[in-house]
Chains A and B, each alone.
Chain A
Amino acid sequence: MKLTFSSKFILCASWLVQAPAFAAQGPSPSAPAKVEFNRDVRPILSDNCFYCHGPDQSHRKAELRLDVREAALEKKAFEPGNSEASELVKRLLSKDPDEVMPPPDSNKKLTAQQRDVLRRWIEQGAEYQQHWAYEKPVKAVIPPGANGVDVLVRSRLTSLGITSAGEADRRTLIRRLYFDLLGLPPSPESVERFVKDGAPDAYARLVEEILQNSHHGERMAQGWLDVVRFADTIGYHSDNPRNVWPYRDWVIRSFNENKRFDRFTLEQVAGDLLPDASVETRVGSAFNRLVLSTEEGGAQPKDYEARMLTDRVRAIGAAWLGQTTGCAQCHDHKFDPFTTRDFYALGAFFADIKEGVIGRREDGMLVPTAAESKEIARLQERLDGLRRELDVDSPERREGQLAWEKGLAGGPVDVAWTALVPEKLYADRGSKFESGADAVVSVAVDGNAASDTYFVTVKTPPGTTTGFKLDALSAEHLPQRGPGRSPKGAFMLTQFSVKQGDAVLKVSEASATYEQKGFVAKSAIDGKSNDPKKGWSTFGNEAGDASIYFELEQPIVGEKTVTLLLRQIAGDNQTLGRFRVSSTSAPKPVRAPNIQFPADIISVLNAPVEKRSDPQKAKLARHYRVVAPEFAAAREAITAAQLEQSEYEKNVAHCLVSTSSEAKRTVRILPRGNFMDETGEIVKPGLPHYLPQPAVEGRDLTRLDLARWLVSQENPLTARTVMNRLWKQFFGTGLSKVLDDLGAQGEPPPNAALLDWLACEFVDSGWDFRHMVRTIVSSAAYRQVSTATPALLAADPYNREHARQSAFRLDAESVRDNALTVSGLLVAKIGGPSAKPYQPERYWENLNFPTREYAADKDDGQYRRGVYTWWQRSFLHPSMLAFDAPSREECCAERTRSNIPQQALVLMNDPTYVEAARILALRILTECDGDASRRMKRAFQIVLQREPRPEEASTMLALFEKHRAVYSADPNAAELLLKTGLAPVGASANNTELAAWLHVARVLLNLHETITRA
């Protein structure tokens, strides 16, 4: 192995001293003697030829492919060493529109220089290379003690004859480090300390100090949250909330603890499958649940099953592999070897994840704090104790039961029912049924539906039918024994209706043997079929089974086919898990018996004592306790304890997590991505065929295998992808500038050796993220000045060679965090539910189902860091949006960095910034007494950590005087302005002064320099 490494390095090093064929952008004047396939040729072929002559077999023209040398030679596309005789060159140069390549209608045209590259490449033998990113990275040998970043940057610069811009001043460096590593500005005092620190290790110590700061995790989390599209809402249509914020905190914590990246990966992709799975790792597995989902009526499960699969494949591609996979949903990739089969096989890894495809997301797993866990255990213990107490057998209780039975005198009265075996069962959202001859219908627990409507088609018996009865039945296979499918075993019948053909038969009465307080039988026929909060529920029914009786207004006469609609839209799987439907011909009124006797208890009671089986006896003993008045107090205590428990748990954090199901969804290749087409081949979980495969045999691959493969030593893509993104955080542009695509259409990195070295070092360090951060920010390359000299601009206009640093605008979150920090408003708390800063009224007016009012936080939540802002996918907070925070509807590896008028409107007029200016003004006034020019200095110190230049001071002092004059003349205006925001105004403040300083603070917060990391 070592030998291979060093021999490759020699190859690498010899390449380093060559001038590149193309500088980062545009052609360089002199082309190198030796054309290199990956660097020079592949980009041209990929962009201009592969669309028709590439990996996608179905779209290939003339059966010619140019991405594989043998295939191209077989078709005589070119003759190595002889460009004149090569068809390819002839076609490129042809003037005949029918001959010339690329054809005119492709809208592609090669430059003369590109044609020349291809010509010379053929002259030189037309050698191919494996695509650079699919080869294992090769680690350049770095002299001991040297920083690999600097060695490899310098080596390029030397060969290109570019001189480094030199080290930046201390103030710039500390601001840069703070913004890059914490997302916050340094205090004037920290800057002063660092500027005055003469020790040779001053910089290194500063880096360590910053890396220990727990705001580091918040800063590092931002980019990751973008690329995994973390958001607080489901995305489609109603865009309702879901519980995922604990995942955000998990990411922050992971970076703060410097969790190794391999472990970080395992917990996200397969945190539920790890041998040491815990609440913590399961929260990580929320990654798999961050997809978009819908609650739209009429959405088809198959459609959204396909959407969610593709969403997940794209996420793995974007976050770990640096591969654009989306196109392979419909056809083989046009430019990379990624096939449609690879796409669906990758998607099949996630077929085990339990989830409702359509409808409201479940509440998710409880994520209690240590104290909350204790309390939950205490409440459970109490409930168990109360239940045990109720079940205790004693002679007195047996006697009591006998007396109770006698008291019933002939048994409870109920009309005669005929159980109806459904002729047809259908579920709107794909719940799966099994029904037996006993007419009992069981619903698979692993259904697709958080909500569903069951269509039960039955034939009424001969004679008249005056009513229907629905038994909700408990069963061992259901959560908490059911009868519902929710984690609490509950269901809610939102609406019941009877249809005969198109006609709806009116139900005149509904009554039940048990109803939860507030969720009565009548609400199942109130006509409000779209209110998820209303319906019949039996939650808290110790008996388990319960029945609801429906009386028809007009009886059905004779054998008729009718469909009973059981609409259950409360969400969280509150749907029936086992039920039975019966009909009666008894005359009206059809009512549930006024005592709580479900059918099976009645049958036990009606049987002679000696004929009762043991289970029947136990059932009766249990039921006695459930209904007899002497246990009323005990039952109330249980219900109260249950309610207390569920109320308590409501206030504990929940998080959607991955849960693996034995019943996996079937994954097929969908021809042209069409979910209606079920002719495609069924695929098992599998990894992209063109990458190294894991050694697993004799069983299907699991998500855990996928996770391990992503961070295996053999995977050539993950470390490169992650390091490329990290580089962008510190230099403004990736080493390969297309962050989400290291494939053929991406950019071969101008400094490939550097990206490879970083990737190898990352893996060799045991995927130690912080080590890599430290390595990069400690480099001389990082510490350079960001201002370009004309010479540097000419030599390297886009700064791809890193002879200088780059200046760029802060991310949306940091624009906010900076203003809150310098004013002193920032609440530094780490983690917690998402926060709601001020937002313009009616910004959510286009949301519906339900319509919503945004309620801004009135407490600390108002002053949290941007990373905690409520992330509403369809209407992201407009201040964040203006500064290019992505909506996170799709994975975002790279934010755009725009410069638009809305940014000016936000910084000038958003109450957040006006309030920050007000509190900053107060700070200026209180921290510094004396004349305006001293205060002005302090203001610059706080915001920019430097003194104002004379011309700045005079501009600002003049502005201050102007505003002071206005407010002296109009104190009401000052008062009005100072009312902006919730933060209290200091009692002793002079309004005129304060309002005028507010304007000064406001101008400072708006400066380009203030929101720029240089």
Chain B
Amino acid sequence: MNFQSLPELNRRVFLGRATRGLGAVALASLSTPTLLNAAATQGVLGKLPLPQKAKRVIWLSMAGGPSHLETFDYKPKLAEMHGQPMPESFTKGQQLAQLQGQKLSCFGPQHEFQKFGKNQTEICGLFPQIGSVIDDICLIRSMTTDAINHDPAHMFMNTGSQIAGRPSMGAWVTYGLGSESVDLPGFVVLTSLGKGGQNQPIAGRQWSSGFLPSRYQGVQLRGKGDPVLYLGTPPGVTRQQQGSDVEAINALNRQHASLVDDPEIATRITQYEMAFQMQASVPELMEISGEGAKTLELYGCQPGDGSFASNCLLARRLAERGVRFIQLYHKDWDHHGGLKEGIAFKAQEIDRACMALITDLKERGMLDSTLIVWAGEFGRTPMSQGGSGRDHHNKAMSVWMAGAGVRGGIVHGATDELGYAAVDKVATVHDLHATMLHQMGVQPDAFTVKFQGLDAKLTGVEGSKVMKDVLL
């Protein structure tokens, strides 16, 4: 697929947006009306080559690197070998993080596992709520990644590259598919902290638009203060006054546009209207107290508590409002030590909320068109770190997906008997991206943008494969 160079495209997209009513007043005086007929409101891909199963994505990013061995991948053999030296055949010459050069010993699973669902899928007993909806979940136990430190690993998970400056998946998707929301950004990010205190930093580049136009960058919605940066009108200015100022700005810009040929002015007028609308729509979105006690109870959250559960509820509200890509970061999974207690904290924070999100979307008939992805940035070692934790690990991790044409109730792939490396149906991050794009109706390897002379794509230069087995 060949796209025009970005700046022109950008302009077109904006002008296209203007035709959708937002900037209706602005249209009268535009000097290049022909451009306005460009049908670019739905993203650059236009008509999609594949059926669009997933209209939107809710990505639950478990930041810090959840241990697969205490969540979704039970290894009785590891329990048996607890305390014994890790067989060198597994680890020799391998990339380790903090354990590099140290004596390695096996560290058995720290929590019991239980069987759930039709297929008696075994997951950690700390997650019974997720267990209760396991038949809607496709569990992938054979995920791998390239990176082994948090920052590069997040970058790889989000952008398919460990080098800064690449667009995040949310940016790719909104760029390609556009957004159905008229008064909210197409790509929204929410973050929440864990109680364990291992809250890894997350850089703004994780939701950057990279080399794509800035308008596709993720917009962070914050639990406290202005939910969107600079959303609040200055003190002493009413909404009506703000409206008067926006009107005056746009009136003068229109007058200016009649004198000079500059399509950017029409875009700017539209953006001021959009900004003004966001000032009303975002606070309305964030107000979850009207959801009713039953829903709040389902998620297990209180209005304004800034919890992962609240963010899951917000994710549903964003999904209802047509936002294309919703990414939630929940931190504090970096259990180098105190793993046993740490995982228990995490279970309290996410178990019910994940179940609630799936259940709620299902009840509203939206699960079929919403792709939920649960993933960290890497897994953790079967070897002990300091006697109570596990180190970073890129050879094995567990992720799961639900909704949008994903096969529920199955387990895909497996790790070896100690949970060290994925051995069956080994999947890469590029494969995960490819599968997600595929469900959104996009040909993964054909979705490219020229950057530094290359046809850059989310799924990388090496190519990727869609995990067909996990799809209905």
Residue ranges of A at the interface with B (Cβ–Cβ < 8 Å): 25, 46, 105, 107, 109, 235-239, 292, 294, 296-300, 303, 324, 326-327, 334-336, 426, 428, 455, 501-504, 676, 737-738, 740-741, 743-746, 786-788, 793, 798, 807, 809, 840-843, 845-849, 873-876, 878-879, 881-882, 884, 887, 889-890, 896-906, 908-911, 914, 949, 951-952, 955-956, 959, 962-963, 966, 972-980, 995, 999, 1002-1003, 1006-1009, 1012, 1014
Contacts A298-B148, A676-B93, A890-B165 given; does A502 touch B384 at CB 8 Å: yes
Assess whether B55 is interfacial by the CB under 8 Å rule: no
Q: Contacts A107-B1, A334-B453, A979-B235 given; 11 further ones with Cβ under 8 A?
A: A46-B453, A107-B455, A300-B95, A502-B103, A845-B191, A848-B200, A890-B164, A955-B251, A962-B244, A980-B235, A1007-B249
Contacts of B265 in A (CB 8 A): 1008
B213 and chain A: residue at smallest CB distance: A898
Instruction: List, in ascending order, chain B residues with CB within 8 A of A740's CB.
Output: 452
A300 and B453 contact, CB distance less than 8 A: no
Minimum C-beta distance from A229 to chain B (A): 10
Interface check B296, CB cutoff 8 A: no
The 8 nearest A-B residue pairs measured at CB: A745-B453, A977-B236, A298-B97, A874-B203, A976-B236, A904-B275, A889-B164, A298-B98
Q: For the complex, give the distance between the alpha carbons of A255 and B237 in Å.
A: 43
A-chain residues with CB within 8 Å of residue B203 when the two chains form the complex: 239, 846, 873-875
**Cross-chain pairs A/B with CB under 8 angstroms, 26 sampled:** A237-B150, A294-B151, A298-B98, A300-B100, A326-B452, A426-B101, A501-B103, A676-B93, A745-B453, A787-B259, A787-B262, A842-B224, A842-B225, A874-B201, A896-B7, A899-B264, A901-B271, A901-B275, A904-B274, A905-B279, A952-B252, A955-B248, A979-B235, A995-B236, A1006-B249, A1008-B264
Asked whether B208 lies within 8 Å of A887 as measured between CB atoms, the reply is yes
Q: Which residues of A contact B1 (CB under 8 A)?
A: 107
Which residues of the partner chain B approach A788 to less than 8 Å between Cβ atoms?
261
Contact partner, A745, options B7, B10, B260, B452, Cβ 8 Å: B452
Least distance between A971 CB and chain B CB atoms (Å)? 10
Expressed in whole angstroms, the minimum distance between the Cβ of B430 and any Cβ of chain A is: 15
Q: Are B249 and A875 in contact (CB under 8 A)?
A: no
Residues of B within 8 A of A956 (CB): 248, 252
Asked if B237 and A848 make an inter-chain contact with CB atoms under 8 angstroms apart, the answer reads: no
Complex CA distance for A941 and B251, rounded to whole angstroms: 19
Cα-based distance from A879 to B392 in the complex (angstroms)? 36
Q: Are A908 and B164 in contact (CB under 8 A)?
A: no
Instruction: Say whether, besides A107-B448, A298-B391, A849-B201, A235 and B241 are in contact (CB < 8 Å).
Output: no
Question: With an 8 A cutoff between CB atoms, is B233 at the interface?
Answer: yes
Q: How far is the CA of A300 from the CA of B101 in the complex (A)?
A: 11
B-side interface residues toward A, CB under 8 Å? Answer: 1-2, 4-8, 10-11, 14, 32, 93, 95, 97-98, 100-103, 105, 148-152, 163-165, 191, 199-205, 208, 211, 213-215, 219, 222, 224-226, 228-238, 241-242, 244-246, 248-249, 251-253, 255-256, 259-262, 264-265, 267-268, 271-272, 274-276, 278-279, 336, 384, 387, 391-392, 445-446, 448, 450, 452-455
Q: Are B164 and A887 in contact (CB under 8 A)?
A: yes
A1003 in contact with B201 (CB, 8 Å):
no
Minimum CB–CB distance from A113 to chain B (whole Å) comes to 14
Q: Is the CB of B454 within 8 A of A327?
A: yes
Q: Which of B201, B204, B261 touches A238 (beta carbons < 8 Å)?
A: B201
Which of B8, B453, B454 gathers the greatest number of chain A CB atoms within 10 Å?
B453
Which residues of A are found within 8 Å of B267, using beta-carbon distances?
899
Complex CA–CA separation, A903 to B275 (angstroms): 9
A966 touches B95 (CB 8 A): no
With A901-B274, A973-B236, A995-B236: A793-B261 Cβ-Cβ less than 8 Å = yes
Q: Give A907 Cβ to nearest chain B Cβ, in Å.
A: 9
Contact B10 A874 (CB under 8 A): no
Contact of B235 among A503, A879, A881, A977 (CB under 8 A): A977
Q: List the A side residues contacting B242 at CB < 8 Å.
A: 908
Q: Whose C-beta in chain A lies nearest to the C-beta of B278?
A: A901
Chain B residues within 8 Å of A881, by CB: 204
Whether A890 and B201, one on each chain, are in contact in the complex, defined by CB atoms closer than 8 angstroms, is no
Query: Once the chains are docked, how many angstroms separate the CA of A728 from the CA of B215?
Result: 22
CA distance A807 to B257 in the complex (A): 12
Whether A296 and B151, one on each chain, are in contact in the complex, defined by CB atoms closer than 8 angstroms, is: yes
| B233/A959 in contact, CB under 8 A | no
Complex contact A963–B235 (CB within 8 A): no
- Residues on A with beta carbons closer than 8 Å to the beta carbon of B4: 25
Shortest C-beta distance, A930 to chain B (Å), equals 22
- Measured between alpha carbons, how far is A896 from B260 in the docked complex, in Å? 22
Q: Which residues of A contact B105 (CB under 8 A)?
A: 502
User: In whole angstroms, what is the CA distance A238 to B149 when docked?
Assistant: 12
A905 with B163, Cβ < 8 A, contacts A237-B201, A896-B213 known? no
- The CB with the most chain B CB atoms within 10 A, among A840, A890, A898, A910, is that of A898
With known contacts A237-B201, A292-B164, A966–B241 Cβ distance under 8 A? yes
Q: Are B445 and A107 in contact (CB under 8 A)?
A: yes
Q: Taking A905-B229, A910-B230 as contacts, is the C-beta distance between A899 and B252 under 8 angstroms?
A: no
- Taking a contact as CB atoms under 8 Å apart, the answer to whether A1008 and B253 are in contact is yes
Q: Across the interface, do B453 and A744 meet the contact criterion of CB distance under 8 Å?
A: yes
CB <8 Å contact, B214 and A896: yes
The answer to whether A237 and B151 touch (CB under 8 A), given A787-B261, A910-B230, A977-B235, is: yes
- Nearest CB of chain B from residue A494's CB, rounded to whole Å: 16
Closest chain-B Cβ to A902's Cβ sits at a distance in Å of: 7
CB distance from A819 to the nearest CB of B (A): 14
Give min CB distance, B255 to chain A, whole Å.
Answer: 6
Q: How far is the CA of A266 from the CA of B11 in the complex (A)?
A: 41
Select from chain A the residue with minimum beta-carbon distance to B235.
Answer: A976
Contacts of B98 in A (CB 8 A): 297-298
Which residues of chain B are within 8 angstroms of A324 by Cβ–Cβ distance?
452-453
In the bound assembly, the distance between CA atoms of A426 and B100 in angstroms comes to: 10
Are A239's CB and B230's CB within 8 A?
A: no
Q: Are B264 and A966 in contact (CB under 8 A)?
A: no
Known A847-B201, A890-B165, A1003-B252; contact A676-B103, beta-carbon cutoff 8 A: no
Task: Collect the chain B residues with CB atoms within 8 Å of residue A1003's CB.
Answer: 245, 248-249, 252
A226 CB, nearest partner CB in chain B, Å: 12
User: Does the CB pair B236–A298 fall under 8 Å?
Assistant: no
- The reply to whether A999 and B164 contact each other, CB–CB distance below 8 Å, is no
Cross-chain contact of B255 among A335, A737, A952, A975 (Cβ < 8 A): A952
Which A residue's beta carbon lies closest to that of B384? A502
Q: Which of A744, A882, A1003 has the most CB of B within 10 A?
A: A1003
Question: Bound state CA distance, A845 and B2, in angstroms?
Answer: 40
Q: Is the CB of B453 within 8 A of A1007?
A: no
Q: Inside 8 A of A1002's CB, which chain B residues have their CB?
A: 245
Known: A899-B268, A901-B271, A973-B236. A906 touches B97 (CB 8 A): no
- Known interface pairs A324-B453, A741-B452, A793-B261; A905-B164 also in contact (CB < 8 Å): no
Q: How far is the CA of A97 from the CA of B105 in the complex (A)?
A: 55
* Contact assessment for A902 and B245 in the assembled complex, using a CB-CB cutoff below 8 Å: no
Q: Which of B215, B225, B255 contacts A898 (CB 8 A)?
A: B215
Contact A296 B150 (CB under 8 A): yes
For A999, list chain B residues within 8 Å (CB). 237, 241, 244-245
